Structure 1
Amino acid sequence: MKELLLLLKRFFGYTTFRPLQAEIIQRILQKEDSLVLMPTGGGKSICFQLPAIYMPGTAIVVSPLIALMKDQVEGLIANGIPASTLNSMMPEEERHRVRQLCIQGKVKLLYISPEGIISELHWLLPRIDISLIAIDEAHCISHWGHDFRPEYTQLSVLKENFPKVPIVALTATADKITRTDILNQLKLRDPKTFISSFDRPNLSLTIRRGLSKKEKIAAIVHFINRHHRQSGIIYCMSRNSTESLVEELSEYSIRAVAYHAGLSPDKREKAQDDFINDRVNVVCATVAFGMGIDKSNVRWVIHYNMPSSIENYYQEIGRAGRDGMKSDTLLFYSVGDILLLRRFAEESGQKDVSLQKLNRMRRYCEADICRRRILLSYFGEETDKDCGNCDVCKNPPQRFDGSILVQKALSGIFRTGQTANMHLLIDILRGAEKEELKEKGYDKLKTYGVGKDLSYKEWKEYLYQMLQLGYIEIDYMSAGHLKVTPLGRKVLFGEQQALMTIYQKTKDFALPTKKGGYKYRPIRPIESTSVEETLLDSLQQLRKQIAEREHTPAYIIFSDDALEDMVQKKPVTLDEFSEIRGVGQLKLDKYGKVFVALIRFVLRLPKKE
């Protein structure tokens, strides 16, 4: 392990292993198979990258997205590690060059898609001295293999063709069903499963329910302006949503780009490149294709629509705060999302499993207990403490006897013959003066207007609670009509009390004036009485200048975490600089002098002779 630790410091700039990394690496060196579950930012990549450097030969890394492969390879090369990729977007002459380098043993890690693995199985792979095979984003074997990427279901050929090569499958998200599916499909030999903690305490978790489109836009604009100059991703359910949201945000001087499978490869690559290199801070992306970007300084993630499963949600919020620094997540949730996602689930190749996963996601959104405890429990990890960093913990619910309120709603549902959706029921309860209600005679019902004392938003929130508590359910097969459950009947007829949570009004944000209400300022040195703030700003500007000169993303030069470590430790010699997190030998030689000189200048220390 001493030799491995020296390599860890030399190439990656770290002096110790994170939990489970050493055990996983030892198992690979013993040529044994493994399944690794480790949260995004937990250090999965080092589990196969370090043994790939140490062992003779070339490591084959199966990765689902060109963007992700490109990002990982750039990061490895920046650390002085010979790595390359084979993908369908490369010219044939470039592909031929990479193949020859692999055959000559000059590439330590080769990144390739599952489709590429199948096509290279009988020519290239047998000619390479393969040290290990890593299957990254292994949950795709289960999730995508059935519906989107059939080549994932064919990866068992790797163990059949290379029985003595150790295989490690890695993912940030997999429940028990998915884990079993991965192991069965890959045909791993006596695999050991390593499960790291799924807790990401640096991520705040917030959910907003039942907002209109206008309210969502206002909340997003406020959120982005609160995260001034920070990178973030907004996940949308459809391609059209990504593009229309980009247009909406431009009205408030927020520059964003769309990223989805319907764009031409050139446009997708430009959007990704602009985001990676901080030329644009906001990307609106479809959830099905994700971003596949190993960008460490994403500070926030918004879900414009509810994801279809907790795995997808956890994977997507994991794009934020990969460097372990404080980051925020926000999810908008509505009945409309459930109706649409339910239709998708019923049309999928795994209807029962998809519906079950969707139901767990819905319950997470509707819960009024610590959200992190629900997430950890879902992945089989228990905790006896609330997190203090989710919207429920920050605003603990207060209870009241809501039996009469529930009875009003349930009575309204019964009196419409259980044919009202949520919107119509609220109109009836509030006695809305609408022609639609009068035409159907709803204004003659005994429940018409019995809930005038509550606002539309309050009724909507309480109906969501009734769904969560099991008093009502949505008939997804008939336009989302509300039905009373057997448990709801007990409350309606006074056989059971309904304990509800008091509605807490969330802050509504007014939209700023379009075209110029909020404008980003040009980058200038920060004016601060704090040396730390001035130093951090100066380091960020230096990093950005170097990144632009080298045509590489700023976080490839140094992560935000590394800059924070520089601010805390204030290294003023190269020896001190070598102790900064993420500073390996190559980066020390390449950037050490200029960063140390800047730190000495900000601290007003004399130049070193």
Structure 2
Amino acid sequence: MKIKPLDILSKYYGYTSFRKGQESIINSIINKKDVLAIMPTGGGKSVCYQVPALCLEGITIVISPLISLMKDQVDTLKVMGIDAEFINSSLSTTEYNQILENIELDKYKLLYVAPERLDSMEFINLMKTKNISQIAIDEAHCISSWGHDFRPSYKRIPYFIKSLNIRPIVTAFTATASDEVKYDIMNILDLQKPDVYITGFDRENLSINIVKSSSKNRYLLDYIENHKNESGIIYAATRKEVESIYEGLLKRNYSVSKYHAGLTNEIRKENQEKFINDEIQIMVATNAFGMGIDKFNVRWVIHYNMPQSIENYYQEIGRAGRDGEASECVLLFTPGDVHTQKYLVEVGIDNPERKRIQYKKLQQMVDLVYSNGCYRKSILNYFGDDLEGKCDNCSNCLNEGEVVDKTLDAQKVISCIARMKRSFGATMIIDVLRGSKNKKVIEQKFDSLTTYGIMKNYSAEDLKTFINTLVAHGFLEVVENIGVRGSFPTIKLNEQSMRVIKNEIKVEFKESRVTKSRYVENELYERLVELRSEIARENYIAPYMVFGDSVLKSMSSTYATTKEEMISISGVGEIKYEKYGNKFINIIKEYLLEYGIDKESNTKKLNNNEDGEFLFVNTDIKLYEKLKELRLKYAQKEKTMPYRILSNNTLKEISGRYPKDNIELNDISGIGPVKIDKYGKDILEIVNSYIKENNIDTLWKEKNKLKVVIDGESRKNNEIALDLLNQGKSIEYISEELETSISTILGYIYDYVKEGQLINFKLNLKDFYNNEEKEIILDACRAFGEEKISVIKKNLPDYIKYESIRAVILEKYLEKMGYNV
């Protein structure tokens, strides 16, 4: 009987439907057609050749460039109960011979092979005798010398295919390929009338943020502190930069490792495996790291330096959110990044034509950085893909900052370049515009130009950014003097420059700011994550191979406690349920029992309220998560933190009381008429749809003068904060959990101690100020008194935060009371 691909997908992978494009590709392969598939990273390329491998008679050979990629994929297949193995340089002679023996005995359905192994006559002669159903080439762009990651070893693949007695189906997969690379793949591999699939390059779950800032390190530290419970990758352009970032984060006690070509193979392998296995949360690396790694729960990728091309950039950010969950990609940019990449091109590429192409790609990357339009649209257009309208998930689309008319400043720059008579580099132009006394400026007599010093109000860096923005928008042109020793790029005028001077067109740019988001998990989810880690350690596999984050979230929100409920969750499947299902069910049952949760109504049992003082509300987790998503969209749109839109407790109260109209919504704590006008329509639409979809019988009860108690939590914020401190939680953690400022938490501690209470928890108050700030704050305290915080703040420099003032005052008082701080 013919095996159906959808049955395989359900049984082994736990999915009930294919992703976009997968089914068509699989059907082409099953019908014995060669295939070239260009699919976005995380789009499910491996399923496209693995499912046919299980449908077709014989063995499928997968050619893959990285050892770590092979191991990850083979381990995942084995966990799913599929016979698979790999051959690469990591195997001992005994292991290699055993695998050859098993191939002889037809024990495998999939065999992963490094391209370097295709030179082995022993291997070739063995494969000539086998029924090979398919040869799948992963990361197929590596075969093109014009691709961004060319590997000479890939040139062996066509000769291996031709050496076989019977030509199998040949399939090629890649995430990024220009037209030039696409034709190279088809021609070099000699694909026979291939079905070509381009499923689209868009990764909708990735937000794209480009930050043009001179304070990269400050931004990076703030971002990591705000996302310290998530897994992320930091890419830097050089080994030196990687080491510097790594040391800085290690010193601050973050869970971090590093990866670059200066480390030994053993150290690189060890560090990568720790990252994949969730033993460390942050990887700092050059772009050598991560190609093809199957770590599904990377929640963010930060580029500390701009990459050399849009292909590099898009492949590297593709390592985030492979599980389909929302993830963030941040590019930190300063103009110096361009010089770094130009240097790397000069020292890394000898061929003049390849160097010219790389410079063109670099300029396209610079243009993207300085673009005011939708970043996603620009990237997709680069790959020949279209996006209608805005994506509403990049920093340009989400930023509603006003468009600023920069025509006059542009005219000043253009006039200066025109008066300098010939092309010069940006540095010389900046020196003239800012009125520099530089020797070269004086020698050229540029100090006599009418444009000399007319832009003194700009800093050198801001003026460089402005000139680069003019280049990116086509108002100026860059001339690359390639092949000339000691050459540097110069800037010249073009037709658009002249139109600006004549006031025929305006120069308008949008001034942008980037917001940051927070992500908080629920308690049941954390317990399931812990169980997953235990299972992974016991079986020597990566945690995601057990279940992905999205699967655990579904378990925790639906309270799945039966086989049917587990199997219905996307990503479980029969094979994994048999292996792990009962263990996860037991944890969920324990949680339900511990908190007295009535699973049928998805709410916690209410305590008796005989005195009529309280209105007990129980969070509906699934509805609460939907409301959080809505809140995040508004927060991004309004460039603010989510809790400033509505607090967690307000969302929980909405989810537990199910208001159906504006009158009922007005009875919810923390919302009010103004916010109802802004957000009410969307909130009610979500609530009413949810009630209808889940057939929920709601019985509305007016709050009146009753005190709302959510999930049985009747303590005040200061009581919760002090309890958490006694449990060993950090002030930063509590601030995030309670959605209140660090300054407020420090105030709670100060008031508690002033009441004569003893504290037994550790405080690291020096984290909130430096010695210079401490002296300034103490002077202000002596002048205005320690109790008048707002007066002290008003009389201090703006850069000193409330939390610094609170920390200094609290530390002084604790020392007075005899505490060792």
Q: In the alignment, which residue of structure 2 is the partner of 1:603? A: 592
Can you list the C-alpha shifts for 1:5-38, whole angstroms capped at 9, x where unaligned? 2222211111222222222222222222000111
Can you list the C-alpha shifts for 1:355-412, whole angstroms capped at 9, x where unaligned? 3333322222221111111122222221222000001101146444433211222344
Q: Secondary structure at the match of 1:293?
A: coil
Say if 1:280 and 1:551 are closer, same or farther in 2 by CA, change over 3 A.
same
Between the aligned partners of 2:135 and 2:76, the Cα distance in structure 1 is 19
1:200 aligns with 2:203: yes
Q: 2:507 aligns with which of 492, 499, 516?
A: 499
Q: In the alignment, which residue of structure 1 is the partner of 2:177? A: 174
Between the aligned partners of 2:209 and 2:26, the Cα distance in structure 1 is 36
Q: In the alignment, which residue of structure 2 is the partner of 1:293? A: 293
Q: Secondary structure at the match of 2:235?
A: strand
Q: Secondary structure at the match of 1:387?
A: coil
Between the aligned partners of 1:598 and 1:507, the Cα distance in structure 2 is 37
Structure 1, 160-169 or 411-420: larger mean CA deviation: 411-420
Say if 1:382 and 1:48 are closer, same or farther in 2 by CA, change over 3 A.
same
Q: In the alignment, which residue of structure 2 is the partner of 1:561? A: 550
Between the aligned partners of 1:208 and 1:435, the Cα distance in structure 2 is 34
Indicate conservation of the 8 Å contact 1:145/1:153, yes or no: no
Q: Secondary structure at the match of 1:178?
A: helix
Between the aligned partners of 2:211 and 2:7, the Cα distance in structure 1 is 47
Q: CA deviation at 1:158?
A: 3.9
Q: CA deviation at 1:63?
A: 0.2
Structure 1, 444-453 or 67-76: larger mean CA deviation: 444-453
Indicate conservation of the 8 Å contact 1:204/1:327, yes or no: yes
Q: Secondary structure at the match of 2:4?
A: helix
Indicate conservation of the 8 Å contact 2:296/2:548, yes or no: yes
Q: Secondary structure at the match of 1:68?
A: helix
1:45 aligns with 2:46: yes
Q: In the alignment, which residue of structure 1 is the partner of 2:265? A: 265
1:189 aligns with 2:197: no
Task: Look at both structures and tell me which one has the larger radius of gyration over its CA atoms.
Answer: 2
Between the aligned partners of 2:440 and 2:512, the Cα distance in structure 1 is 31
Q: CA deviation at 1:502?
A: 4.6
Can you list the C-alpha shifts for 1:473-520, whole angstroms capped at 9, x where unaligned? 344436645423123651574353332215346689xxxxxxxxxxxx
Q: CA deviation at 1:151?
A: 2.1
Q: In the alignment, which residue of structure 2 is the partner of 1:447? A: 451
Q: 1:155 aligns with which of 141, 154, 157?
A: 157
Can you list the C-alpha shifts for 1:39-79, whole angstroms capped at 9, x where unaligned? 11111111111121222322100000111111111111111
The number of equivalent residue pairs is 584
Between the aligned partners of 2:497 and 2:581, the Cα distance in structure 1 is 71
Q: In the alignment, which residue of structure 2 is the partner of 1:519? A: none
Between the aligned partners of 2:303 and 2:421, the Cα distance in structure 1 is 35
Between the aligned partners of 2:253 and 2:60, the Cα distance in structure 1 is 46
Between the aligned partners of 2:102 and 2:471, the Cα distance in structure 1 is 59
Can you list the C-alpha shifts for 1:168-215, whole angstroms capped at 9, x where unaligned? 101111121111110000001111101112211110001123x44xx1
Can you list the C-alpha shifts for 1:455-484, whole angstroms capped at 9, x where unaligned? 555434322221112233344436645423
Gaps of 5+ in 2: 600-821
Say if 1:183 and 1:289 are closer, same or farther in 2 by CA, change over 3 A.
farther
Say if 1:446 and 1:460 are closer, same or farther in 2 by CA, change over 3 A.
same
Q: In the alignment, which residue of structure 1 is the partner of 2:235? A: 235
Alignment of 1:16-27 (within 5 A): 16-27=17-28
Between the aligned partners of 2:568 and 2:515, the Cα distance in structure 1 is 44
Structure 1, 432-441 or 285-294: larger mean CA deviation: 432-441
Structure 1, 58-67 or 125-134: larger mean CA deviation: 125-134
Indicate conservation of the 8 Å contact 1:242/1:258, yes or no: yes
Q: Secondary structure at the match of 1:307?
A: coil
Q: Secondary structure at the match of 1:123?
A: helix
Indicate conservation of the 8 Å contact 2:142/2:150, yes or no: no
Q: In the alignment, which residue of structure 1 is the partner of 2:132? A: 130
Q: Which amino acid aligns with 1:221?
A: L
Gaps of 5+ in 1: 509-525
Q: In the alignment, which residue of structure 1 is the partner of 2:9? A: 8
Q: Which amino acid aligns with 1:484?
A: K
Q: In the alignment, which residue of structure 2 is the partner of 1:383? A: 387
Q: Which amino acid aligns with 1:154?
A: R
Structure 1, 353-362 or 27-36: larger mean CA deviation: 353-362
Which of 1 and 2 has higher RCO (CA within 8 Å, sep 6+)?
1
Q: In the alignment, which residue of structure 1 is the partner of 2:562? A: 573
Say if 1:572 and 1:392 are closer, same or farther in 2 by CA, change over 3 A.
same
Q: Secondary structure at the match of 1:48?
A: helix
Structure 1, 392-401 or 298-307: larger mean CA deviation: 392-401
Between the aligned partners of 2:161 and 2:433, the Cα distance in structure 1 is 63
Q: Secondary structure at the match of 1:208?
A: strand
Q: In the alignment, which residue of structure 2 is the partner of 1:547? A: 536
Q: In the alignment, which residue of structure 1 is the partner of 2:491? A: 483
Q: In the alignment, which residue of structure 1 is the partner of 2:813? A: none
Indicate conservation of the 8 Å contact 1:5/1:15, yes or no: yes
TM-score (norm 1): 0.88
Q: CA deviation at 1:331?
A: 1.3
Q: 1:165 aligns with which of 156, 165, 168?
A: 168
Q: In the alignment, which residue of structure 1 is the partner of 2:120? A: 119
Q: 2:433 aligns with which of 429, 433, 437?
A: 429
Between the aligned partners of 1:269 and 1:90, the Cα distance in structure 2 is 14
Structure 1, 436-445 or 284-293: larger mean CA deviation: 436-445
State percent identity of aligned pairs.
38
Say if 1:252 and 1:444 are closer, same or farther in 2 by CA, change over 3 A.
farther
Q: In the alignment, which residue of structure 2 is the partner of 1:512? A: none
Q: CA deviation at 1:417?
A: 6.0
Q: In the alignment, which residue of structure 2 is the partner of 1:516? A: none
Q: Secondary structure at the match of 2:144?
A: helix
Between the aligned partners of 1:343 and 1:103, the Cα distance in structure 2 is 51
Indicate conservation of the 8 Å contact 1:411/1:492, yes or no: no
Indicate conservation of the 8 Å contact 2:86/2:111, yes or no: yes
Say if 1:290 and 1:535 are closer, same or farther in 2 by CA, change over 3 A.
closer
How well do the aligned residues superpose, as a CA RMSD in angstroms? Answer: 2.9
Can you list the C-alpha shifts for 1:210-266, whole angstroms capped at 9, x where unaligned? x44xx1111111122221221111222222322222112223333422212332111
Q: Which amino acid aligns with 1:116?
A: R
Structure 1, 473-482 or 167-176: larger mean CA deviation: 473-482
Q: CA deviation at 1:297?
A: 0.7
Q: Secondary structure at the match of 1:134?
A: strand
Q: Secondary structure at the match of 1:321?
A: coil
